[in-house]
């Protein structure tokens, strides 16, 4: 009897593997992955501006990543495992480290979107949508890179690194330029309003920095540069960075919403969607 049980268990295992392989060959599997990616974008956008993430939100975020890891093609699975690694210990760190890790995770999510969207559009011979997506994605990528340099310069200034204020001033200017470029994408009014607020805050920070540095430059006795942390605290700059992250995620979410308008989410128990989307497009 023992060998019959073993044979039965082996046959059942083979059947499960075959079933999974067949399901992964279904044409709507990549489509469901895109809808889950959009759900992840929306959830990440909600969490971007939060200093402290609630335990329930945090666990739901990890569940979404597990679901996407399950849906992803084999070649993409390591990227989801790395994203999970970035986030699984997030609550254990201080605010500055959490902000840095969230920024890294955001970059990871953007690249995951780019791994999934172009192959899907190419498979559907949708060259117009592919061209539009690439235009949006490169604008988002340039903004992300500018935000990364701004965040790094902010931390260096907080550490009183030599020449940090000049570096921060330069990165503020570049970040403003990238935000202005993003507005050329014909965004929603609410999103343009938020970008205008960010640009205004960055410009005000730059003016305060110049006002603080001007008298210092005339004092010959100063051998070192005075950090501007008291004028524009690191926490304020990190909060601004997270608002930029929210803008990035919103732009990508809206882009995906437009692309998926003609491709509704598959209705199938096998997928077990964690974050069903009820709106075709979310406002900022």
- pLDDT of 127 > 90? The answer is yes
pLDDT attached to residue 22: 44
pLDDT attached to residue 84: 86
The answer for residues whose C-beta is within 8 angstroms of residue 256's C-beta and 6 or more apart is 34, 37, 38, 41, 113, 117
pLDDT attached to residue 10: 64
Mean pLDDT of the chain: 78
| Model confidence band, residue 1 (pLDDT cutoffs 50, 70, 90) | low
Express each pLDDT in 81-92 by its tens digit. Answer: 888 887 877 777
Express each pLDDT in 17-47 by its tens digit. Answer: 444 544 455 556 788 889 889 988 888 888 7
Q: What is the CA radius of gyration of the chain?
A: 23
Q: Are the beta carbons of 74 and 216 closer than 8 angstroms?
A: no
pLDDT attached to residue 262: 81
Q: Are the beta carbons of 77 and 38 closer than 8 angstroms?
A: no
The length of the chain, given as a count of residues: 284
| Model confidence band, residue 217 (pLDDT cutoffs 50, 70, 90) | very low
Average of per-residue pLDDT across 234-259:
91
Q: What is the pTM of this model?
A: 0.77
Please give the angle made by the CA atoms of 260, 35 and 63, to the nearest 5 degrees. 165
Q: Which residue has the tokens 């902010």?
A: 154
Average of per-residue pLDDT across 105-128:
91
Q: Are the beta carbons of 110 and 248 closer than 8 angstroms?
A: yes
Higher pLDDT, 280 or 160: 160
CA-CA distance, 132 to 256, in Å (whole number)? 11
Q: Which residue has the tokens 């899907």?
A: 120
- pLDDT of 250 > 90? The answer is yes
CA-CA distance, 232 to 226, in Å (whole number)? 13
Average of per-residue pLDDT across 267-274:
49
Question: DSSP states of 201-264 as a string?
Answer: HHHHHHHHHHHHHHHHHT-TT--SPPP-TTTS-HHHHHHHHHHHHHHHHHHHHHHHHHHTTTSP
Q: From the centroid of its chain, how far is CA 178?
A: 16
pLDDT attached to residue 210: 56
pLDDT attached to residue 75: 86
pLDDT attached to residue 225: 39
* Residue extents of the structural domains in the chain: 32-259
- pLDDT of 266 > 70? The answer is no
Using left for φ > 0, alpha for ψ between -120 and 50, and beta otherwise, residue 254 falls in: alpha
| Residue 218 CA neighbour count, 13 Å, CB half | 5
Q: Are the beta carbons of 144 and 107 closer than 8 angstroms?
A: yes
Q: Is 28 helix (H, G, I), strand (E, B) or coil?
A: coil
Express each pLDDT in 172-188 by its tens digit. Answer: 999 999 999 999 998 99
Q: Which of 233, 241, 198 is nearest to 106 (CA)?
A: 241
- pLDDT of 138 > 50? The answer is yes
CA-CA distance, 46 to 51, in Å (whole number)? 11
Which run of H or E residues covers position 169?
helix 164-182
């Amino acid at each position: 009897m023992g060998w019959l049980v073993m044979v039965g268990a082996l046959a059942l295992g083979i059947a499960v593997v075959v079933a999974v392989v067949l399901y992964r060959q279904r044409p709507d599997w990549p489509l469901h992955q895109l809808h889950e990616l959009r759900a992840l974008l929306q959830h990440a956008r909600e969490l971007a501006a939060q200093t402290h993430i609630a335990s329930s939100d945090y666990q739901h975020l990890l569940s979404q990543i597990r679901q996407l890891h399950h849906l992803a093609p084999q070649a993409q699975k390591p990227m989801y495992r790395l994203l999970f690694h970035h986030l699984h210990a997030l609550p254990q760190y201080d605010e500055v480290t959490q902000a840095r890790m969230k920024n890294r995770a955001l970059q990871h999510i953007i690249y995951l979107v780019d791994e999934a969207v172009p192959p899907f559009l190419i498979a559907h011979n949708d060259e117009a949508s592919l061209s539009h997506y690439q235009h949006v994605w490169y604008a988002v990528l340039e903004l992300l890179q500018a935000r990364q340099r701004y965040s790094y310069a902010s931390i260096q200034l907080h550490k009183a690194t030599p020449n940090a204020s000049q570096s921060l001033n330069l990165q503020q200017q570049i970040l403003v330029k990238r935000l202005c470029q993003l507005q050329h994408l014909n965004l929603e009014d609410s999103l343009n309003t938020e970008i205008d607020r960010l640009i205004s805050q960055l410009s005000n920070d730059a003016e305060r920095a110049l006002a603080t540095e001007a008298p210092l430059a005339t004092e010959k006795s100063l051998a070192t540069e005075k950090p501007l942390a008291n004028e524009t605290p690191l926490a304020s700059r990190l909060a601004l960075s997270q608002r930029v992250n929210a803008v990035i995620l919103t732009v990508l979410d809206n882009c995906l919403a437009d692309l998926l308008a003609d491709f509704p989410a598959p209705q199938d128990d096998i997928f077990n969607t964690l974050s069903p989307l009820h709106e075709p497009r979310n406002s900022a």
